[in-house]
A and B are shown apart, each in its own frame.
Chain A
């Protein structure tokens, strides 16, 4: 075997040098921090927070989808449902109790979810400051897993728009005063096809997020073992698909005129 050499023929991205900092020799275990402080302080704890907050969001999405599908029962049913959401429990409870509780929960979940996502993403980029020169070939085929971070951001942007559109009516043609049904029909009018397109895209993103997120949450909480992993992965894929179809059905139905 012989060899010839070319110096510096290819140059990879010059690494930012990682600080050579050695962690101290650990103390033998015992007398460690316990409870939530310890929990939120570790990567594993943060992951658990992400899983639990994600689960809250998933439950909301399921309810939300079911509610949305009521639109196929007609304007009356849908508006009644929207009103019910605001009046349920009255007079024992003040108005909007359910909605407020949901909203508070959702905001908390989103904040925690985002906080842990950002914290973990920052750690990850600190742990891997240098890229490989050869494009890393993904072996686990985890395309979906890699959409989690930017996918999450797209979803967030969508939700902001979505609230302005259908909750506050700010960007809705009918404005806040109209009935939910009317807002919906106006919002997804065929002339506003780009709104529908945006919704479909966002919902697809949500689908991808859940495709990975659903089984990932189980893994994070330590509930996956052996053959259950396959099953769970299949269930995650199926549930994500159902949610996507359920959500997409409404705007598409409005746009093609099934719901007027």
Chain B
């Protein structure tokens, strides 16, 4: 795939000056919209996860007319519901030396120096308000006997700053946002459209002015127009078919926006989570995460000897290799995700993996149970242990869990400026859907933080500055007709192929290819192979897919086929991005660029930039680079030893 290098870009919205003051200064400089005008301004928010749910509720509270969309039957079911471990905040309630600056620093370092300083600092500042907001909404965070909030530690940090609600933090936070949203629906400020999937963006007069959606129940294609559009549609990890994402997670919304002019930032940055339940068979439809918080008390090990077939209980202590503790004495089992994942891959490649196919390592709680007692362990992780038992049929209290890395999160996404606005004016992107504040690797418990920071606090301020110029008048009908035509055309094409393979089978094949060639370890050779194979596969898909039924009514196979079609295009861009970035950084590990002891080796001289890809049609994508300058942290080789 050919690409060209375009003009470099610059985020013009981030104010200069001392980093602590930048967000305040931006807030102050952002223009306000008077209450009477707010009622005349319509904002579309696609997605009801932590980012979209909190944004729609807050915009509704502010008095805008909001239209909210999600593909599930209720906003409460957005994928954020599945987040387990917790949410970071620089509250320093423990007095263990945490501060906004330290959270800022940990996040920049954890992201392997590929994130913007200004954004990350703002995130750390706002993190504090999120906890206040959530508690006031009734989110039942874990508490100590004194009645105050409890925290725990997460990978990549040496302080305890992660607030949690047992193993269901995402659920509780999302329900808080969902309830705020439902309150606004009752108040009439938010109009909710469930079971509606966004299939295209309407751009008119150079501005994002609406969306084309399909009512998944009736099959009708609808147009919704507005003064601004917010995408909060989550991550695209499902390009790998097997991931910890919910089955419906897709790239369609952001991919369609990308095709209409929004740049795509760092598509190749994906996070592989080290603690997931290993694959058990070919029919497998998704992978299940075991929260990272388990690494607080569980110890990771494999047998010292390759091919050791003994039951874990029969392997004596001195024949076990607690490899994370051995390799990274300072952080031990709590090293960041990318490092833990690759370490697991390495020991499995050495033939020391356990379980079916040798693709697994042990996560052992025997010590913790001995130290704290079974009851205490059950209290902390009971629901996770139960989930493990449900899926594997094994009892993790008596036998160590088997875990293996799996695709979990995508740091890449639509490029946005400091105001969270994409390169299409009036199109804002929040939550996991944007290329976000995590650089090349996201620390645990930071996605919830970012989604809620965007939705409750950042977007509601910055979008006002844009809307102060509105209302933007009538939308050119030709632009609507063009988008509508594109959508109905695609649906028609999918239905008319009537081939011999299902969309799922193509998705599975694409996913396998991406996992092998653009997964935990990437090589030039592999990526080139992928770039050859993906277009072939896509062509075959469009010539041979079988989608039953018609365009009317609920047609889940049609929904799936549409999503798979977009994954093909995205996969190609991911591989291209991975191929062009010949350094290793964070979750992006190029085998050609590693230190002597196998750690990711960055190439700051050539790659300290955000890769923002413009859709170039047949001419191929155009790469715009946004340079990353560090004023407050020094770029160093990340070390967790």
Give residues in A with beta carbon < 8 Å to B: 1, 25-28
Contact = CB atoms under 8 A, between A and B. Distances in A.
B186 interface: yes
Nearest to B184: A28
Interface string B183-208: 10111100000000000000000000
Given A25-B188, A26-B186, A28-B186, 6 more contacts: A1-B283, A25-B185, A25-B186, A27-B186, A28-B183, A28-B187
A1 B281 CA distance: 13
A93 to B, nearest CB: 56
B366 to A, nearest CB: 33
A27 B183 CA distance: 9
Interface string B263-285: 00000000000000000000100
A130 to B, nearest CB: 19
Nearest to A27: B186
Contacts of B185: 25
The 9 closest A-B pairs by CB, nearest first: A28-B186, A26-B186, A28-B187, A25-B186, A27-B186, A25-B185, A28-B183, A1-B283, A25-B188
A127 to B, nearest CB: 20
B155 to A, nearest CB: 38
A179 B509 CA distance: 92
Nearest to A26: B186
9 contacts: A1-B283, A25-B185, A25-B186, A25-B188, A26-B186, A27-B186, A28-B183, A28-B186, A28-B187
Interface in B158-201: 183, 185-188
Contacts of A28: 183, 186-187
Nearest to B188: A25
Contacts of A25: 185-186, 188
Contacts of A26: 186
A251 B130 CA distance: 72
Interface in B538-589: none
The A interface, classified by DSSP as helix, strand, loop or mixed, is loop
Contacts of B187: 28
A19 B187 CA distance: 27
Contacts of B186: 25-28
Contacts of B188: 25
Nearest to B185: A25
A25 B186 CA distance: 6
B237 to A, nearest CB: 27
A26 B186 CA distance: 6
B609 to A, nearest CB: 48
A1 B283 CA distance: 10
A33 to B, nearest CB: 18
Contacts of A27: 186
Contacts of B283: 1
Contacts of A1: 283
Nearest to B191: A25
B131 to A, nearest CB: 26
A27 B185 CA distance: 9
A27 B187 CA distance: 7
A178 B185 CA distance: 72
Nearest to B187: A28
B137 to A, nearest CB: 16
A190 B287 CA distance: 74
A1 B185 CA distance: 46
B184 to A, nearest CB: 10
A26 B185 CA distance: 9
A27 B188 CA distance: 9
A91 B187 CA distance: 65
A232 to B, nearest CB: 28
Interface in B567-624: none
B182 to A, nearest CB: 9
B631 to A, nearest CB: 48
A56 B188 CA distance: 46
A28 B187 CA distance: 6
A196 B183 CA distance: 61
A131 to B, nearest CB: 24
B181 to A, nearest CB: 13
A258 B185 CA distance: 72
A26 B188 CA distance: 10
A116 to B, nearest CB: 30
B61 to A, nearest CB: 13
Nearest to A28: B186
A1 B183 CA distance: 47
Nearest to B183: A28
B212 to A, nearest CB: 25
B281 to A, nearest CB: 11
Contacts of B183: 28
A1 B187 CA distance: 51
Nearest to B192: A25
A29 to B, nearest CB: 9
A228 B601 CA distance: 63
Nearest to A29: B186
B301 to A, nearest CB: 36
A25 B185 CA distance: 8
Among A1, A26, A28, the most chain B Cβ lie within 10 Å of the Cβ of A28
A25 B188 CA distance: 9
Nearest to A1: B283
Interface string B429-468: 0000000000000000000000000000000000000000
A184 to B, nearest CB: 61
A118 to B, nearest CB: 33
A173 to B, nearest CB: 67
A117 B188 CA distance: 37
A28 B190 CA distance: 13
A236 B185 CA distance: 45
A257 B199 CA distance: 86
A242 to B, nearest CB: 40
A23 to B, nearest CB: 12
A216 to B, nearest CB: 29
A167 B15 CA distance: 93
A28 to B, nearest CB: 5
A27 B283 CA distance: 47
A249 B183 CA distance: 60
B500 to A, nearest CB: 17
A218 B62 CA distance: 45
Interface string B131-153: 00000000000000000000000
Interface string B23-55: 000000000000000000000000000000000
A15 B188 CA distance: 36
B190 to A, nearest CB: 10
Among A1, A25, A27, the most chain B Cβ lie within 10 Å of the Cβ of A25
A168 B254 CA distance: 83
B280 to A, nearest CB: 15
A174 to B, nearest CB: 67
Nearest to B283: A1
A108 to B, nearest CB: 39
A31 to B, nearest CB: 14
Interface string B379-397: 0000000000000000000
A25 B187 CA distance: 9
A22 to B, nearest CB: 12
A178 B187 CA distance: 71
A25 B190 CA distance: 12
